[in-house]
Amino acid sequence: MEASTLQTFFQQLINGLSLGSIYALLALGYTMVYGIIKLINFAHGDIYMLGAFWGYYVINFWHFNFLFALLSAMLVGAVAGVIIEYFAYRPLRHAPRITALITAIGVSFLLENGMSYLYGSTPRDFPQIIEPVNYHVFGVLISNIQILILVTACLLMVILQVIIKKTKMGKAMRAVSVDPDAAELVGINLNRTISFTFALGSSMAGAAGVLIGLYYNSIDPLMGMTPGIKAFVAAVVGGIGSVPGASIGGFLIGLLETLVQSVGLSAYKDAAVYFVLIVILLVLPAGIFGKNIKEKV
């Protein structure tokens, strides 16, 4: 492999990992909610949009630094997730699954159109709170923004994994995902555990919103639609219900999208993602890390 080809490869690898880390954060929310209540929360991408808008306003008007903007966006995302679960999904918990799915799509449209009505649909420039600095490492261009996004996303994923594996609430989440009725019988508060799961997943989406604002410098009320669907694809590819699977799936989708763009097929990057989804579902219906579980009829 020639030096220039190698440099191009590593350049696209860095770009793909930066984008993939944002998809991974989003995919975690999908996979956690599905693991707990078997619901595909299609409003998840719009919580990511709310996180981006919150970051935009607190940086512009309250002059928050990056860390406070990120943490406050996570908090706003968590609160939004809990409110949506309480008012939209909880009353439908024992309804047919298709009812909850249609409601999730309805909540998504409500958030998108509500934000368009309140703030207009014109894209806004995200404030560049961090001065971009480019580093040349063996001919590969790496920006401090890319490093920050990748490190922040990986750190949040590790913290999430620790919460799920080591904390009392994490054990409750795992118990509810296996058997909600049995979990309730041993004293686990079902509503509190499900609300906590939504809060945790939505906080990741809020963080991803601020990170994507830094990465692309542009936000708008419809920005959550396509990344939301791609993150869902990432969750399915990794094995929906699997937290490590969602992370790996997010990175794979980011790398694939960057690869397709690098060969001059930018117009087909979305099609490539959905093509991979079809192939994965044909070859590995449960995803890379998923388990084939037979459902009782």
How does pLDDT run along the chain (297 residues), one tens digit per residue? Answer: 455 778 888 888 999 999 999 999 999 999 999 989 889 899 999 999 999 999 999 999 999 999 999 999 999 999 999 999 999 999 998 899 899 999 999 999 999 999 999 999 899 999 988 888 898 887 788 999 999 999 999 999 999 999 999 999 999 999 999 999 999 999 999 999 999 999 999 999 999 999 999 999 999 999 999 999 999 999 999 988 888 899 999 999 999 999 888 887 888 888 888 888 888 888 888 888 876 655 444
Residues 208 and 151: their CA atoms lie apart, in Å, by 12
CA-to-CA distance for 47 and 217, rounded, in angstroms? 18
88 CB burial (10 A radius; 0-12, 13-18, 19+): middle
Residue 286 confidence (pLDDT) = 81
Q: Which helix (H) or strand (E) covers residue 124, if one does?
A: strand 124-125
Are 210 and 72 spatial neighbours (Cβ–Cβ below 8 Å)?
A: no
Place of tokens 């919103």: 209
Q: What is the 3-state secondary structure (H, E, C) of 157-215?
A: HHHHHHHHHHCHHHHHHHHHHHCHHHHHHCCCCHHHHHHHHHHHHHHHHHHHHHHHHHH
pLDDT of residue 292: 60
Q: Please state, in angstroms and rounded to a whole number, the distance separating the CA atoms of residues 150 and 251.
A: 10
Q: What is the pTM of this model?
A: 0.92
Long-range contact set of residues 271-280: C-beta below 8 Å, sequence gap at least 24: 273/230, 273/233, 274/233, 276/233, 276/237, 276/252, 277/233, 277/236, 277/237, 280/236, 280/237
Please report the pLDDT score of residue 296 as a whole number. 46
Report DSSP letters for 19-87, one per residue: HHHHHHHHHHHHHHHHHHH----TTHHHHHHHHHHHHHHHHHHS---HHHHHHHHHHHHHHHHHHHIII
> How far is residue 212's CA from residue 145's CA, in Å, rounded to a whole number?
10
Distance CA(161)–CA(147), nearest Å, equals: 21
Overall residue count recorded for the chain in this entry: 297
Residue showing tokens 């261009």: 141
Residue 283 confidence (pLDDT): 87
* Contact criterion met (CB below 8 Å) for 144 and 66: no
Residue 100: predicted pLDDT: 92
